[in-house]
Amino acid sequence: MQEVTASALLTNKIGLHARPSVKLTQTAKRFGSRIEVATSAAGPWTDAKSPVKIMRVKAAKGDVLHFKASGEDASAALAALVDIVARKFDEE
Amino acid sequence: MPASKNVGIVIVSHSAKVAEGAADMVRQMVGDNVPLAAAGGNAEGGLGTDVAAIMAAIDKAWSEAGVAILVDLGGAETNSEMAVEMMPEERRERIVICNAPIVEGAVMAATEASGGSSLAVVQATAEELMSA
């Protein structure tokens, strides 16, 4: 299965704190593909469907979130994740 | 309302305020597609936990997928175990008490449950908080 990648700049004030983390994992969980997140293109990579692990990433405003996904709905998953980051998790 | 397919979450604290506050955090952070109930305080309205109230909370949050319970200090756990023992036999094996901090555990368990995960996965996510 082809792996697809995408990235998005975190611009919301609080970065990837609790509530945005929950929204990010909830978005990732809607898709069947394996999805990972990192704050550097070189990793380390974190399972985007694990709320505990995502919260531990502690990404801040100005960080770039890198996504990679593999699976049948990988492209749609990354589009949804990039979109929710761009929308500042609908909080601002 | 049709029974939810998602695992339900029950929050049991010695304090009604803690239980209700944790439930508020779950609702605000995770949304309302997870059955949720809180039981806090003893039958007299003081600090403590009450088996009957815990049983009622399990009923309220009941889902065919099961229920995960988050507890605070000692008595909350033993009274929750007692409440589970007193539930109908066919439900007992679909109720788990998570070894996790009550507030964070409730939010994490509910986040996992909101995606339709199984009871075992919901419990594992909450308990992941206890590992490094």
d(CA A16, CA A18): 7
* pLDDT at residue B132 in the model: 63
Q: Does the pLDDT value for residue B3 go beyond 60?
A: no
Q: Which of B24, B108, B118, B130 to mutate to test the interface with A (most CBs of A within 10 A)?
A: B108
Give percent above pLDDT 90 in chain B.
94
Q: Does the pLDDT value for residue B1 go beyond 50?
A: no
Q: Tell me the catalytic residues of B.
A: 14
Tens of pLDDT, residues A21-63? 999 999 999 999 999 999 999 999 999 999 999 999 999 999 9
pTM (two decimals): 0.92
Q: Would the CB atoms of A22 and B125 count as touching at under 8 Å?
A: no
Q: Mean pLDDT over residues A83-92, rounded? A: 95
Q: Does the pLDDT value for residue B2 go beyond 90?
A: no
Name the residue of chain B whose CA is nearest to A28's CA.
B115
Q: Which of B27, B1, B3, B2 is nearest to B11 (CA)?
A: B27
* pLDDT at residue B131 in the model: 85
What lies within 8 Å, CB to CB, of B110 at 6+ separation is: B9, B26, B29, B30, B34, B36
In this complex, is the C-beta atom of B103 within 8 Å of any C-beta atom belonging to chain A? no
Q: Does the pLDDT value for residue A73 go beyond 90?
A: yes
Q: Which of A70, A85, A72, A52 is nearest to A4 (CA)?
A: A70
Q: Does the pLDDT value for residue B109 go beyond 90?
A: yes
On average, the pLDDT of chain A sits at 96
Band the pLDDT of B45: cuts 50, 70, 90: very high
State in Å, rounded, how far the first CA of chain B is from the last one.
40
Q: Looking at this predicted complex, what is its ipTM?
A: 0.88
Closest in A19, A49, A51 to B108, CB measured: A51
- Specify whether the CB–CB gap between B58 and B95 falls below 8 A: yes
Band the pLDDT of A92: cuts 50, 70, 90: confident
Q: Does the pLDDT value for residue B6 go beyond 60?
A: yes
Please count the residue pairs, one from chain A and one from chain B, whose beta carbons lie less than 8 angstroms apart: 33
Tens of pLDDT, residues B65-103? 999 999 999 999 999 999 999 999 999 999 999 999 999
d(CA B102, CA B70): 5
Q: Mean pLDDT over residues A66-74, rounded? A: 97
